[in-house]
Every structure is written in structure tokens, then in C-alpha cells.
């Protein structure tokens, strides 16, 4: 038996080896001889591509972590230029497909794509277009018609119908600017009909396939657009600066608002994928994959509901202004509400505005709008402060000892110190004997003319700058401007001189004085906090999207300006009187029962049109929590009650249980 087993074992091994070898031979014959032709054809139609897997941007949330902007996935149409047999023909066929279902594709070409060829009114003729022409030895000085003629020749489009030649040129332009590797995104956020047609025409559209791409979705229409800002494809100039930081040539990047200023946190890290695709663009195999890392979430300081109250309030505010002072009134408006103890911006509105959800479709119309809806007037609009500046003059006079709480002046309606220049109070109203407090209450120009003259323009400028005028606040938004402190320094920088009499007007916020609504709100918050100056913030924190950990939190530290408590108390007492009987804002706040409001009104004369209308203040007057500024361009006089109505709506929400939104969630009209 032992001898038999010794013989059988090698025999069994040999038989198994022969069987395995036979299977390999059979498989090889089948692959090469029997199915070889079909596999060869399939391999020729397969394409290996390495593509960027786009990372999702972080979400943007309000102070209570309610979502405002989120990322989602949409379909895009991508062309692999290496896989197309005739790029012009592929582009032509794709354009026909998209036109058949009224779908848009990406087009930033600055010339119209149909005859007569003309430069588009809203187009940016930047360096990228000039470089594009230069590379083709086409002069930028030629007319749009001549340039298009040369581009049609350059791309060899003579055999295509005239109505499609310009359209193909526009796509070729995009392809040259935004091709990443061999991949070019023809269209983003593609609808069901277009994506279905692309699939159905897969054999005809060689090298064209559908891909998934992250995009922004907005919780509410027409909401905080100037704060949030826009996102767009990276430009050639941006890419040349940022490619070393890992940006792809067709990436999206923040263009304005916090989308831009907080780009380093919101952007994620792109992944990478190497795939095998068949002739229809379908992925048949994934060879290698690096997962993208999403961006961090951004937590803003704003309260969604308070922001909505402000923005909806502009509708009735503008309507009431026009009814009161005519159609030329209220060309623009802005409002800012700040938390006194922290500098957090609870709401910031600018009118006119626009809808981020339809920004791309509306761009041409919005760009041509004379109201300039893209401008965030809260930080970029410059307005004369008018009488809201009088607290600066009061502080300067009290701190330098020029006046004290009990100092008085007799107002006859006209300031007669200078024989040849005698400015007056509004409507030449005679206020009689006034102190600093009652001068604030009645907004008496004569009192502050005299204080300004005695303090002098240079000292007045020092206090204005200390309180934040003439400089950016440092808020985390792009586009903020500094404004102007009227005086000798500014005038001499323009090669002009400062006249002594102009100091009178500067003391009441006129002449060259300009400020943004944010500067005004911050200045009032500084007074309300006893001279503690906070940097206003729109960003509260940054949160790791995956772990939920806070990785950056904005500081709420303040700077003590060193203003005496007696000065602050005197100025605040004057602002309290403004909303009392006889005060310039009494009519606006006499029916407000939540708390006492300290305020100051302003009517600022301008070079053209109706004067500007302003209202600033804080509440509660005895325990300040929230400061505000409302500014209306060309609002006109006698409009305090209109501004106050907006302020009261916001304060009513704030003091009815700040952060408790149950009653508002049941109001379908509040959040649009």
C-alpha cells in the first residue's frame, strides 16, 4: 500500500498541474483568438483619465447654527479633449443639444456670439482676454466684428452655419482658459432633460460625459446677499496666483463677501480619481482614488430672523419715503445692528439688493441697474453723518474742558460769531438757552458750531479718528472703505486749504465728512459701552465640518479709549432726551414700550437731491445691549418716524426673547 501511495501522489500532482495549465492555455486562446477582436475594439474605445474630485465648500450658518448656505451635488457636462475626434464638431453638437432644451452652458466671452458682433455692455475686458488675443496675434484695437472674423478663421469654422460660428468661438475661448489636464467643463448644474440628451447621444458626442460637481444652495432668496457674497470659477489671474495652493484651473472660488474673505476656511482640499471610461463616458473601472476633504463650516454673528426683519423692512421703508418725499427719495438705504458687549453684527442690510440663487442669470440686468445693487452700502457706501456726528463734538468739548455738563449757549437760530459767515440751525429755529444735553435733544447747530470753533479742527479730528471715523473698522468683509474726516489734513492732501469757518460745519457732520453705516453703528456702540471700542465682526467662529470642533473663534476684546465716565454719562443723557417729549426722535419712539431708547437723528445736506436721513442709537438706554444705525440716501426731511419704524421692528424681536424664534417660524412671510 505504501508503494502505491508513493506512485499516486506525484501522479495526482501532475494531473492537477496539467489541468491548470490547460485552463490557462484555453483562456489565452479565447482572449487572443476567439474574443481578441472584440476586446481590441473595446480597449480602443476605453479612455483612462485622471480627474480632480472637487471638494465641497463649508456651510455658512447664522449665530445659532441655522443653515444659510450649503453645498450640494449637481451634474456637469465635461469634455475630454483627448477623446474627441473633432473638437469643433463635438462643441457644435453639444450646443445644439443644449439649445434644444433651452439649457445654458458656460459663456464668459466678452463679445456677443451672434451677428452683429459687439462687445457686451457688462463684460469685463480684462488681461485674460487681451492675452488670449495676443497669443493668436490678433490686435485688441480691432472692432468686435473684426476680432470675431479672425477667430473664426483661426479655429477653422467656415463650414459651420453663421449662427453657430460665434457660439463655437465662445466655447473654444472657455476651453483655453479653463481646461484642467485634458478635461473641460462645458456646463454646470445641468438639468434632467439636458443630461438625458447627453446620455442618449453618447455615440455621437465622443469624449463627452456627465460628472458630479459640488455647488452652492441658498436657504432663502434675497437674503444677506452682500454679507454672504458670490462664488465663481477661478479666473486666469487668480489661478496664476493660487495654483501653488492646490487650486485647479476650473475650481470655484469666493469672489465677494465672506465667501471671499473666509476662502481659506470654506474651501476644501480636492481629491483625485483615475478611472477607465467607455465611449459613452461611463466609468467602467476606478484605478485609484483620493477622497476630497470638505471645507470648514463658517458661523456668522448674524441672527437669521433679525436679518430678515431688516431686509423686509427696507420694502416698507422705501415705499414710505417715496410717498412722503416723492419718487426721488430713498435711492438707497443701509442698516446695521451691533451687540454692544461684543461687537458682533447681529444684522446688516443694504438696499437695493439681489438674489444669490439667480445671480448668474440676472448678472447682465443687475450690472446695468443704476441703483448698483451689488454695492454693500453698509460698508462701501459713504454718507455725510449730519447731526449724528454731534456726539463727537460733544465728547471733544467735554474731554478738553472747553465745556462741561452745565455750560450753556443762547441759540437765536443763527450763529453770528463771524461777521460775514453766519450759518443757522435747521429752518433757522431759535432754541433759546441750551446745554450740551438739550443741544443733543433738539439737535441745535448753534451750540455745536461754537464748541467746534473753540475746540478747533485738529483736535476735533483727533476725537473723530479715535472713535473710528476715517478708517476701516476691520470687519471680515471685502470692499470696506475708510470714509473721510473733514479737516486740514484731508484738505491739504488734495492740495487745498482749510478755511476757519468750515470748522463750524465739520462740527455738525457736514463739509467733507463721510462715513459708512457700519462706522456709525460701531461709534454708537463705543459710546454705549462706556468708551470700550470693539472691532465689529461678522464672523463668530469656524467649525470643523467632520468633527464639529471649533477651530477658530473671533476675539471680542475691546480697547479702552480713556474717555471719562462723566463725559460718557453726559452724552448718553443727551441721547436719552432725544426720544423724550421735545426731542427730535420723540415722534418715532413715543409708542415703543419694550424699553427706553437713546438716539440721535441726522439730516445731512448733499450736493444734489434731497438730504440724507439718519438715525443712530442704542437700547436699553440704561443698560445698553444693542446699537444701531439706519442711513437713507436722499431720504429728505421729516422722516425720523420712518427710520424708527424699522428700528422698532428689530428691537421688538430682540427684546421679546432674543434667539427664541417660535412665533416667527409660524409667519410664512418673514423668511423668504
Annotated domain spans of the chain: 47-300, 304-363+374-658
So what's the pLDDT on residue 129? 86
Reading the block at residue 381, the C-alpha cell is 457706501
Kindly state the helix (H) or strand (E) to which residue 298 belongs, with its residue range: strand 297-300
Distances in Å between the alpha carbon of 19 and those of 14, 27, 239, 511?
9, 12, 60, 102
Interior/surface letters 474-494, b for 16+ CB within 10 angstroms, e for the rest: ebbbbebeebbbbbbebbeee
What's residue 371's pLDDT?
93
Please tell me the predicted confidence (pLDDT) of residue 538. Answer: 98
Q: Rounded to whole angstroms, how far apart are CA atoms 296 and 265?
A: 5
Q: For residue 235, what is the DSSP state?
A: P
Written out in words, the top-level CATH class of the domain with range 304-363+374-658 is alpha beta
Q: Quick: pLDDT tens for 213-245.
A: 788 999 999 999 999 999 988 877 888 888 888
Which neighbouring-strand residues pair with 619?
626
Which residue numbers in the chain have pLDDT < 50? 1, 38-44, 659-672
The per-residue pLDDT for range 1-19, each reduced to its tens digit, is 455 555 566 666 667 666 7
Q: Which residue has 485552463 as its cell numbers?
A: 23
Q: Strands 67-80 and 297-300, how do they pair?
A: unpaired
The topology (CATH level 3) of 47-300 is: Penicillin-binding protein 2a (Domain 2) (3.90.1310)
Residue-level pLDDT at 663: 45
Amino acid at each position: 500500500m505504501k508503494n502505491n501511495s508513493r506512485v499516486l501522489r506525484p501522479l495526482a500532482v501532475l494531473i492537477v498541474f496539467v489541468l491548470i495549465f490547460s485552463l490557462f492555455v484555453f483562456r489565452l486562446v479565447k482572449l487572443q483568438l476567439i474574443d481578441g477582436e472584440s476586446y481590441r475594439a473595446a480597449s480602443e474605445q476605453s479612455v483612462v483619465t485622471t480627474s480632480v474630485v472637487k471638494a465641497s465648500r463649508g456651510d455658512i450658518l447664522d449665530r445659532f447654527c441655522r443653515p444659510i448656505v450649503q453645498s450640494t451635488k449637481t451634474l456637469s457636462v465635461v469634455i475630454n479633449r483627448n477623446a474627441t475626434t473633432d473638437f469643433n464638431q463635438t462643441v457644435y453638437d453639444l450646443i445644439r443639444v443644449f439649445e434644444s432644451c433651452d439649457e445654458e452652458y458656460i459663456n464668459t466671452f466678452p463679445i456677443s456670439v451672434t451677428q452683429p458682433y459687439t462687445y457686451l455692455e457688462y463684460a469685463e475686458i480684462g488681461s485674460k482676454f487681451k492675452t488670449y488675443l495676443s497669443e493668436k496675434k490678433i490686435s485688441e484695437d480691432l472692432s468686435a466684428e473684426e476680432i470675431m472674423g479672425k477667430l473664426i478663421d483661426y479655429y477653422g469654422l467656415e463650414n459651420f452655419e453663421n449662427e453657430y460660428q460665434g457660439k463655437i468661438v465662445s466655447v473654444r475661448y472657455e476651453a483655453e482658459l479653463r481646461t484642467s489636464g485634458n478635461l473641460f467643463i462645458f456646463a454646470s448644474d445641468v438639468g434632467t432633460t439636458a443630461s438625458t440628451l447627453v446620455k442618449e447621444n453618447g455615440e455621437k458626442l465622443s469624449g463627452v460625459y456627465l460628472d458630479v460637481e459640488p455647488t452652492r444652495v441658498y436657504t432663502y432668496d434675497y437674503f444677506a446677499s452682500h454679507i454672504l457674497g458670490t462664488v465663481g470659477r477661478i479666473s486666469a489671474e487668480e489661478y496664476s496666483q493660487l495654483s501653488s495652493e492646490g487650486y485647479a484651473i476650473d475650481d470655484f472660488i469666493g469672489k465677494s463677501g465672506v465667501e471671499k474673505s473666509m476662502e481659506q476656511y470654506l474651501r476644501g482640499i480636492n481629491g483625485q480619481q483615475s478611472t477607465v471610461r467607455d465611449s459613452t463616458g461611463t466609468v467602467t473601472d476606478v484605478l485609484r482614488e483620493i477622497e476630497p476633504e470638505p471645507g470648514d463650516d463658517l458661523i456668522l454673528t448674524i441672527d437669521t430672523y433679525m436679518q430678515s426683519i431688516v431686509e423686509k423692512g427696507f420694502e416698507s421703508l422705501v415705499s414710505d419715503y417715496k410717498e412722503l418725499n416723492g419718487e426721488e427719495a430713498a435711492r438707497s438705504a443701509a442698516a446695521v445692528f451691533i451687540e454692544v458687549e461684543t461687537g458682533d453684527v447681529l444684522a446688516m442690510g443694504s438696499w437695493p439688493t439681489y438674489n444669490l440663487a439667480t445671480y448668474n442669470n440676472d448678472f447682465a440686468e443687475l450690472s446695468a441697474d443704476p441703483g448698483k445693487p451689488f454695492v454693500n452700502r453698509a460698508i462701501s457706501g459713504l454718507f455725510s453723518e449730519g447731526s449724528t456726528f454731534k456726539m463727537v463734538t460733544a465728547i471733544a468739548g467735554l474731554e478738553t474742558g472747553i465745556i462741561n455738563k452745565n455750560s450753556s449757549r443762547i441759540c437765536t437760530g443763527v450763529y453770528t460769531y463771524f461777521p460775514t459767515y453766519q450759518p443757522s440751525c435747521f429752518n433757522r429755529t431759535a432754541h433759546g438757552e441750551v446745554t450740551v444735553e438739550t443741544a443733543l435733544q433738539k439737535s441745535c447747530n448753534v451750540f455745536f458750531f461754537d464748541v467746534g470753533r473753540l475746540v478747533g479742527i485738529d483736535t476735533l479730528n483727533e476725537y473723530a479718528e479715535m472713535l473710528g471715523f476715517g478708517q476701516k473698522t476691520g470687519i471680515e468683509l471685502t470692499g470696506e472703505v475708510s470714509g473721510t474726516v473733514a479737516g486740514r489734513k484731508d484738505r491739504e492732501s488734495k492740495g487745498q486749504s482749510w478755511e476757519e469757518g468750515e470748522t463750524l460745519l465739520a462740527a455738525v457732520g457736514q463739509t467733507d465728512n463721510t462715513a459708512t453705516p457700519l462706522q456709525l453703528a460701531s461709534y454708537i456702540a463705543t459710546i454705549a459701552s462706556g468708551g470700550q471700542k470693539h472691532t465689529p465682526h461678522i464672523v463668530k467662529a469656524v467649525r470643523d465640518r467632520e468633527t464639529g470642533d471649533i477651530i477658530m473663534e473671533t476675539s471680542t476684546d475691546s480697547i479702552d479709549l480713556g474717555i471719562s465716565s462723566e463725559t460718557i454719562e453726559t452724552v448718553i443723557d443727551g441721547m436719552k432726551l432725544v426720544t423724550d417729549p421735545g426731542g427730535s426722535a420723540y415722534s418715532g419712539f413715543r409708542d415703543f414700550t419694550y424699553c427706553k431708547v437713546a438716539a440721535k437723528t441726522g439730516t445731512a445736506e448733499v450736493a444734489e437731491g434731497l438730504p440724507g436721513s439718519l438715525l443712530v442709537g442704542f437700547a436699553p438706554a440704561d443698560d445698553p445691549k444693542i446699537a444701531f444705525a439706519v442711513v437713507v440716501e436722499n431720504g429728505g426731511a421729516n422722516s425720523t418716524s420712518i427710520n424708527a419704524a424699522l428700528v422698532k421692528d428689530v428691537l421688538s424681536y430682540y427684546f421679546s426673547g432674543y434667539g427664541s424664534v417660535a412665533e416667527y417660524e409660524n409667519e410664512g412671510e418673514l423668511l423668504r
